[in-house]
Amino acid sequence: MSGRLSRRFKPAIPAWRRSGSSTADGSAGLSDDIRSGASVRSRVLAGILAMMIVTVSATGVMLYYLLHRDMLTRVDESLKRTTYEFEHILENPVSPRTREPYPDASALLYEVMQNTVAAPHEGFAATVGNTLRWTAPPNVNLRLEDDPQFLSWAASVPLTDEVFLRSVTTDISSYRAVILPASVSGDTSDGRYIVAFDTDAEVSDLNAVFIPYIWVSIGALGLATLVSWFVTGRMLYPLRALGETAKQVSERDLSQRIDVRTKGDLAELTATFNSMLDRVENAVTANRQLLDDVGHELRTPVTIVRGHLELLDPSDPDEVTETRDISLEELDRMAALIDDLLLLAKAEKASFVKLAPVDVDDVLSRVFVKAQALGERDWSFDANTGAWVLADEQRLTQALLQLCENAVKYSDEGSAVALRAQVVSPELDEPARVVLSVADHGVGIPADELELVFERFTRGSDTKRVQGSGLGLSICQAIVLAHGGELRAISTPGEGSTFSIALNVETTNRDESAEDL
């Protein structure tokens, strides 16, 4: 009873435990299952080998069938030729040796058999009545008289005016034969000329010829397998290298790449994989940098607020008010930083911009009106392009105002800031482009810093005069890239900077665009 109970309530062993996994989620077991499968090289080689075996086998079967059919045709043609020759003799039964007519069927059969040259597996005999009268000369290999069962069958075949080729199988062999009636004028004896081929011997000869083909085919398959093994190994090298590289890649080491040694699809796959690793490495590097910069930027306001709160004298109303104002200011700066980061995160999504036909001149004119509130500058405006672009008007305005804000930050009061729009003629098959630019006469940007100003949390060396997180130009670039455009910067230290946004022009005709709307 206890034994039955123990079997009944024996706990089931999970599949991942039975497969040898050491983890509860079964990942190691799955890895073992994957490793236990055949490699790509083995599967490709097995497929090639199977295809070659099928091809060689089908070719061999077809070739054997054709040779066998040709053998049977050759035997039948030989028997038909013998029939025609014998019938020609019966039409004029005169001995070529004596020039006299044959006295009887026995003499005719004797002379015919003496003058017949037999094929290797051909034999003949003659009967008169039910008696074997003549046998083939000694040099004929096939001795029909040694097969009484065949002679009995030949004697029983009814003779007619029409001669048939017949097949017969005895205990000794299989034959293809013809039975020819032999009759001479004045002789009433039942003479028969029996000619036969041993088809089993013919097939044996065919098999003897075909066996070398089988051995040659096996040798060719072996050689082809060896060559295919090395060729597929060389072809699949990128895949093996890809797997080894993937194993070595980790979050701490993304520098591994695969050498492209071949050409074609696998080389393209290798290049694509390397490109993917480049993007992953850039993304991980950017993420690390972002985390470092965000940590640094957020730590500053937190430290300021904490320091003032720790030193706060609650009994002093003025100090409490001052600390409150400083804390709110720093929290506002932290909130603005978080908003900018969220905006940059949204820029990666397809729904970041909603494109629609936009009048470039109209957008720039409204930006010009709004920008004048940013600071006391000598603002100027020049836009008469008549161009329309596919853009998100709100995002485009945001980018232009950010450029205007930067121009105010890095220029002195009363200096010139110009907003311009112009259409650039296309080159070759490229579409026409409209360039929206914001130019200032401020401090400028050194050449070694010009390529870095679009990176997140990066600001120029002259940062004492302005406050900011260093995300403004990164946001501008994200907006422009979402529009399929290009953000450029030209600057000369001490003379000023020009930031321009280049977008593809949809049309330069206001009336046509209005009709489209």
* pLDDT at res. 503: 92
Q: Which residue has the higher pLDDT, 188 or 35?
A: 188
**Number of residues that this document lists for the chain:** 517
Give 374-378 contacts, CB < 8 A, sequence gap 24+.
374/401, 374/404, 374/405, 374/408, 375/408, 375/413, 376/413, 376/414, 377/407, 377/408, 377/411, 377/413, 377/414, 377/415, 377/416, 377/417, 377/440, 378/414, 378/415, 378/416, 378/417
Please state, rounded to an integer, the average pLDDT across all residues of the chain: 80
Q: Is residue 298 part of a domain?
A: yes
In this structure, the answer to whether residues 504 and 357 fall within a common structural domain is: yes
In this structure, the answer to whether residues 405 and 418 fall within a common structural domain is: yes
* pLDDT at res. 315: 84
* DSSP label at residue 374: G
Provide the whole-model pTM. Answer: 0.47
Q: Is residue 33 part of a domain?
A: yes
* pLDDT at res. 294: 67
pLDDT exceeds 70 at position 367: yes
In this structure, the answer to whether residues 501 and 378 fall within a common structural domain is: yes
In this structure, the answer to whether residues 376 and 340 fall within a common structural domain is: no
In this structure, the answer to whether residues 447 and 489 fall within a common structural domain is: yes
Which residue(s) pair with 489 in the sheet? 499
Q: Is residue 468 part of a domain?
A: yes
Alpha-carbon gap, residue 419 to 384, rounded angstroms: 12
pLDDT exceeds 90 at position 460: no
Mean pLDDT in residue range 107-117? 87
pLDDT exceeds 70 at position 347: no
In this structure, the answer to whether residues 483 and 504 fall within a common structural domain is: yes
Alpha-carbon gap, residue 39 to 218, rounded angstroms: 25
* pLDDT at res. 323: 84
| Number of neighbouring beta carbons within 10 Å of residue 162 | 5
Q: Which residue has the higher pLDDT, 409 or 339?
A: 409
pLDDT exceeds 70 at position 199: yes
Q: How far apart are the first and last CA of the chain?
A: 87
Structure-block tokens of residue 508 = 């330069």
Residue-range definition of the domain harbouring residue 155: 98-203
Give ∠ CA 502-275-258 in degrees, rounded to 5. 155
Structure-block tokens of residue 324 = 């409150």
CA distances 424 to 58, 412, 483, Å, are: 68, 31, 17
For the chain, counts of helices (H) and of strands (E):
15, 12
* pLDDT at res. 14: 42
pLDDT digits (tens, 9 = 90+) for 213-260: 889 888 888 888 888 888 877 777 777 777 777 777 765 677 777 676
Q: Which residue has the tokens 């100003």?
A: 453
Mean pLDDT in residue range 3-15? 39
pLDDT digits (tens, 9 = 90+) for 485-510: 999 999 988 889 999 999 988 875 54
Q: What percent of the chain has pLDDT over 90?
A: 23
Alpha-carbon gap, residue 79 to 77, rounded angstroms: 5
Backbone φ and ψ for 314, nearest 5 degrees, come out as -60, -20
Mean pLDDT in residue range 318-330? 84
* pLDDT at res. 170: 93
Alpha-carbon gap, residue 246 to 241, rounded angstroms: 8
* pLDDT at res. 286: 66
Q: Is residue 257 part of a domain?
A: no
Mean pLDDT in residue range 269-294? 74
Alpha-carbon gap, residue 450 to 454, rounded angstroms: 8
* pLDDT at res. 46: 85
Beta strand 433-440 with 496-504: parallel, antiparallel or unpaired?
Answer: antiparallel
Identify each DSSP E strand in 118-253 by its residue range.
Answer: 122-128, 131-135, 165-169, 174-184, 187-198
Of 305, 329, 345, the residue at which a domain comes to its end is 345
In this structure, the answer to whether residues 377 and 498 fall within a common structural domain is: yes
Of 186, 203, 220, the residue at which a domain comes to its end is 203
* DSSP label at residue 254: -
Q: Which residue has the tokens 């001479």?
A: 184
Give ∠ CA 234-235-241 in degrees, rounded to 5. 75
Q: Which amino acid is at 188?
A: T
pLDDT-based confidence at residue 289 (cuts at 50, 70, 90): low
Of 286, 316, 345, the residue at which a domain comes to its end is 345
* pLDDT at res. 76: 92
Alpha-carbon gap, residue 240 to 273, rounded angstroms: 13
pLDDT exceeds 90 at position 176: yes
In this structure, the answer to whether residues 154 and 173 fall within a common structural domain is: yes
Q: Which residue has the higher pLDDT, 255 or 462?
A: 255
pLDDT digits (tens, 9 = 90+) for 40-91: 778 888 888 888 888 888 988 999 999 999 999 999 999 999 989 888 888 8
In this structure, the answer to whether residues 335 and 410 fall within a common structural domain is: no
Domain count, the chain: 4
pLDDT exceeds 50 at position 9: no
Report the b/e string of 477-513 with b at 16+ CB within 10 A.
bbbbebbebebebebebeebbbbbbbbbbbeeeeeeb
In this structure, the answer to whether residues 324 and 405 fall within a common structural domain is: no
In this structure, the answer to whether residues 333 and 359 fall within a common structural domain is: no
* pLDDT at res. 468: 55
Question: Residue 300: which CATH number?
Answer: 1.10.287.130
Mean pLDDT in residue range 451-476? 66
In this structure, the answer to whether residues 390 and 419 fall within a common structural domain is: yes
pLDDT exceeds 50 at position 306: yes
Backbone φ and ψ for 455, nearest 5 degrees, come out as -80, 155
Structure-block tokens of residue 509 = 């005709």
Backbone φ and ψ for 379, nearest 5 degrees, come out as -75, 140
Q: In the chain, how long is the greatest CA-to-CA distance? A: 162
